Amino acid sequence: MAVRIIRRARNVAHNPLLLMAAIVAAVYVLGGAFAAEPANAVERTALQQALKSTVLVLVPDDNGDLYDSGSGTIMDAEKGLILTNFHVMGDPDTGEWFNQEGLAAIGVMPTDLRSAPVLRYMARMIGHDVNLDLALLQVVGMIDDASAALPTNLGLTTLPRGDSDDLLPGDRLAVIGYPGLGGATVTYTEGVVSGFLDEDLDGEYEWIKTDTEVNPGNSGGLAIDANGAFVGVPTAG
């Protein structure tokens, strides 16, 4: 079975550019945070929260035509901050954006958590790191009325942040996103941690290796641990 790699949350947290939004300034060990609830209820509740925090990212070109698509994770519900891969928003080889304003349409999870996402917001890229292949977006407007003021409550959901340092080979890992396979609805795939990769040989493991299926469109989405906590950013490969 093919092995995929996922950017660890720890590396996201250590990126000064993305820290400007204070979205992943620290990662937390959840441990027994859900120990008081039955195991089945915990898993379902955590899954529902993870699904709600995953968004569809549609990127137009400067003519307004769809150029690229991917997934994203809501990192701050009040500020409308969304984390995704840079290659969803621009060319990683040249660093050029797919549209000059760095805009993307954002589709949010419907209430039934099963249907196609609802295109609701426009977001703008406010920070990026081509080397880490990460981009930070912020909701700036409504899709159906560009002149309308944003509501005080955007109706977005975030999820707990786990500690990828706690992961071991064999631990369960799941990926949530919009790969475009089998329709426009969200896709959940599950596997295990296969190992870790130190890409630049600096002694720190930047990537999680996994047998979890990751396809084009999953890029920028959500990788969660067995507790449903954010531990990484999938990159299709």
Give the catalytic positions in this structure: 87, 133, 219
DSSP per residue, the chain: ---EEEEEHHHHHT-HHHHTTTSSS-----TTTTTTS-HHHHHHHHHHHHHHTEEEEEEE-TTS-EEEEEEEEEEETTTTEEEE-HHHHB-TTT--BSSTT-EEEEEE--TTSSSPPEEEEEEEEEEEETTTTEEEEEEEEESS-TTSPPPS--------B--GGG--TT-EEEEEE---TTSSS-EEEEEEEEEEE-TT-SSS--EEEE-S---TT-TT-EEE-TTS-EEEEE---
What are residue 10's DSSP bridge partners?
A: none
CA-to-CA separations, 178 to 96, 109, 130, 175, 213, in angstroms, rounded: 24, 11, 22, 10, 12
CA distance linking residue 159 with residue 131, whole number of Å: 26
